[in-house]
Amino acid sequence: MPKTDRRQFLARTTAAAAVLGFPFAVRATGGEPPDAAPADRPPVDYAALFAKARERMQAEHKPGVLIVIPPGEDDAAALELAITFLLAPTLVGPALIDGKFIEHAGPAPATARLFSRTVCVALPRDDIQKRFPDADAAALCLILDADGNVIETVPAPAMPADQAARTLPTAALSAAIIADMNARLDGPDGQRLAADAKAQRAALTDGGKEIDRLLGLLTDGSDRTRELATKSLATQAAAGTAILLEKRKTASPELAERIDGVLVAACSGLEADIAAPHLPYGVAWRDFTVFLDCGGVCATLGDRRINIRPPAKCGLSRPGPAARRFLRFLGSPEAVVTATAKKADP
């Protein structure tokens, strides 16, 4: 195995910590986070957010995932980082696709399956306790049926006691948790998935025949035909995700991989629209500018500039700004505002 130059290793690890972990490096060193303070965040009408999410669940015949925003700022920030890590397009691969090793940008296939098959909404724990008094609001998330009723609870993982480990993107949402949630959504013997697919076929005017036709083309011998079928299926994924996933359960490894490619393509956008099909309600992309150099990292948001002290100076210089996007909750964990309270406020 070729050796990695020490300077290259330090540069990579310093850049990775700065790009993905800088909001939490601030908290670890006692500094001010680069996003607005909780009191400065605008109030959020979580009742309206949940109503919009439930409307989509019913229209698209999809289950919901109610993400619980924990009350602590550090725990909420760790969850923000985890969701960003999952949904921000990253270089995936090289993967064996149609017999060729290809690198592509997008979420991992398991992540794409989870966020394309559900309608997610992030609500603070206090709001969830009021909305679902019998549910475990301390859970990681709640799985809802298309009518918005709780059908299963996904327990929160045990967070590491070590502060540095808590800031790792995988601390709050690991690959094992994503796999477990996909299995829960399938249900025993795939019963929930089969019911979702049946409901989606009933809602489509052609009963899903066009999706079936395009799925057949994914096994065509022509690269061009498969590419066009993938693009067409990606545009229809919102209305037929369960149909695709049901087919995937009995598909060959090659076809299963191509169905994953369809869902990855459907979840690869970076639009700022909070209603993007794969993006949870209650979050939005925030742009930060990060400056890397041997003396530290500087993050700016608007006219605010925050210096972040790194663990140790590496003796390297990586000058220049770099824009990075992070998913942030629309309000602070404590900001629970209902439509009634908003109207009563003069």
Q: Which of 115, 130, 128 is nearest to 68 (CA)?
A: 128
Q: Mean pLDDT highest for which of 40-49, 215-224, 290-299?
A: 215-224
Of the two residues 237 and 54, the one the predictor is more confident about is: 54
User: Quick check: pTM over 0.85?
Assistant: no
Q: What is the dihedral of CA 276, 277, 281, 287, to 10 degrees?
A: -30
**Which residue type, as a one-letter code, is found at position 224?**
R
pLDDT score for 334: 60
Look at residue 34 and tell me whether its pLDDT is greater than 90: no
In a domain, 215, yes or no: yes
In a domain, 55, yes or no: yes
The region of weakest confidence among 70-79, 216-225, 245-254, 264-273 is 264-273
Cα R_g (the chain), whole angstroms: 21
Q: How confident is the model at residue 242 (pLDDT cuts 50, 70, 90)?
A: very high
Strand-pair category, 64-69 with 141-144: antiparallel
Pair of tokens at residue 249 = 């359960």
In a domain, 228, yes or no: yes
177-192, pLDDT tens digit by residue?
A: 999 999 999 999 999 9
Look at residue 129 and tell me whether its pLDDT is greater than 60: yes
CA distance 240 to 204: 9
70-89, pLDDT tens digit by residue?
A: 888 878 888 888 888 888 76
Per-residue pLDDT, averaged over 270-291, amounts to 67
What are the backbone dihedrals phi and psi of residue 17, each rounded to the nearest 5 degrees, phi first? Answer: -65, -40
In a domain, 1, yes or no: no
Pair of tokens at residue 165 = 């480990």
In a domain, 315, yes or no: yes
The region of weakest confidence among 30-39, 119-128, 166-175, 317-326 is 30-39
Of the two residues 5 and 43, the one the predictor is more confident about is: 43
Of the two residues 117 and 158, the one the predictor is more confident about is: 117
Within 8 A by CB and 6+ apart from 327, the residues are 80, 83, 84, 87, 88, 279, 283, 284, 285, 286
In a domain, 340, yes or no: yes
Range of the domain at 175: 6-344
- Supply the mean pLDDT for the chain: 74
Q: How many domains does the chain fold into? A: 1
Within 8 A by CB and 6+ apart from 322, the residues are 19, 289, 290, 291, 292
In a domain, 80, yes or no: yes
* DSSP H helical ranges for the chain: 6-28, 46-60, 73-87, 109-117, 125-131, 163-166, 175-186, 191-203, 209-217, 223-249, 253-266, 339-344
Q: How confident is the model at residue 137 (pLDDT cuts 50, 70, 90)?
A: confident
Look at residue 291 and tell me whether its pLDDT is greater than 90: no
pLDDT score for 288: 64
CB 39 within 8 A of CB 346: no
